[in-house]
Amino acid sequence: MNRIMDYYNLSILIQEWIKDYVKSNNIDTLVVGVSGGIDSAVVSTLCAKTGLPTIVVGIPLNSAPKNTELSEKHMTDLCSKFKKNVISINVDLSKTFEEFKSHPIFQEVYNSELGFANSKSRLRMMTLYQIASSTNGIVVGTGNKVEDFGVGFYTKYGDGGVDISPIADLYKTEVKNLGIHLGVSHEIVDAEPTDGLCDDNRNDEKQIGATYEELEWVMEYGINKSSYSDKESKIIAIFTNLNKKNKHKMVSIPFFSLKNKEII
C-alpha cells in the first residue's frame, strides 16, 4: 500500500506536528524505545530531526542478538548525526523479567506464555515512562496503522501505552518508504518485522498469519469488493477475526455511567 508519494513533505509534516504538540504542552523531552525494527527507527529519526531533546532507549529483554545489534547500531548512528539533541540509554531488563517470571505464583498457578510475552512489553513501557517522568518528557509511540487500528497487534498498556503516535496513520509499507527517505539502515528496512516477545523469535507474519501488505489491502480495499478469491477470503477472515478479538485495545475503556439512571 502506497498512498503517499512525497516522503520529504511527509517527514516535515510529522516533525512539525511533534513540535506543535511539545510546545502546546510544555514538554521538554521526547523519549523513544528503539527495538531494532523499522517503526521505532523511523520514529526515533523523526524525533531527532525536530531538533528537540530526544532520548532513544534500547531495552534488551532476552532479545534476539540481531535485534539488539540493530537497535544499538541505530542509536549510535543517531547520536553521531544529532550530537546536539540526542542521547542514548541502554537498560537491560532480562534479569528483572526472569525474576518476575520465576515467582512461584506465576510458575505454579498463573503460568501463561502470552501473559509473559505481554509482561515484557509492559516492563519496557514502565522504563520509558520512568525516563519521561524524570525529564518532563513524553513517550513517543511507534505503532503503525495496521497494528494500531487494523489487527491490534500490540500489547495493551505495553507498547500501546504512549503519549503521541506519529506514524499511526501510516501503513507498514509507507513506514518503510519513509525510512528509506530518512536514511535508515538498509539492514533495518529489510529486516523481517518482529515484536521480539516470543521465546522462539517468531516474526510478525508467522504470529498473525498474513503479511502486512495483505492486511493493508484488506484495510484499504478488501472489504468492499463484490467477490473474492480463496486467498483473499482467507486474509479477510484473519483480519476480521483479529480486529474483533483485539477491539478492546482500540476503543476507549468502558465505564459505568450514572446518566439517565435513578439512584434511590
Domains of the chain and any CATH numbers: 7-208 (3.40.50.620)
Three-class SS of residue 49? helix
Backbone angles phi, psi at 91, to 5 degrees: -130, 100
Q: How many CB atoms lie within 10 A of CB 57?
A: 24
Confidence at residue 102, expressed as pLDDT on a 0 to 100 scale: 96
Question: Of 147, 196, 140, 183, nearest to 8 (Cα)?
Answer: 183
User: pLDDT tens, 212-254?
Assistant: 899 999 998 866 666 778 888 899 999 999 999 999 999 999 9
> Residues 69, 95, 53, CA angle at the centre, nearest 5°?
55
Q: Is the pLDDT of residue 1 over 70?
A: no
Average pLDDT of span 142-160: 93
Helices (H), 25-112: 38-49, 65-81, 94-101, 104-108
Is the Cβ–Cβ distance between 157 and 248 less than 8 Å? no
Q: Is the pLDDT of residue 201 over 70?
A: no
Confidence at residue 241, expressed as pLDDT on a 0 to 100 scale: 92
Band of residue 22 on the pLDDT scale cut at 50, 70, 90: very high
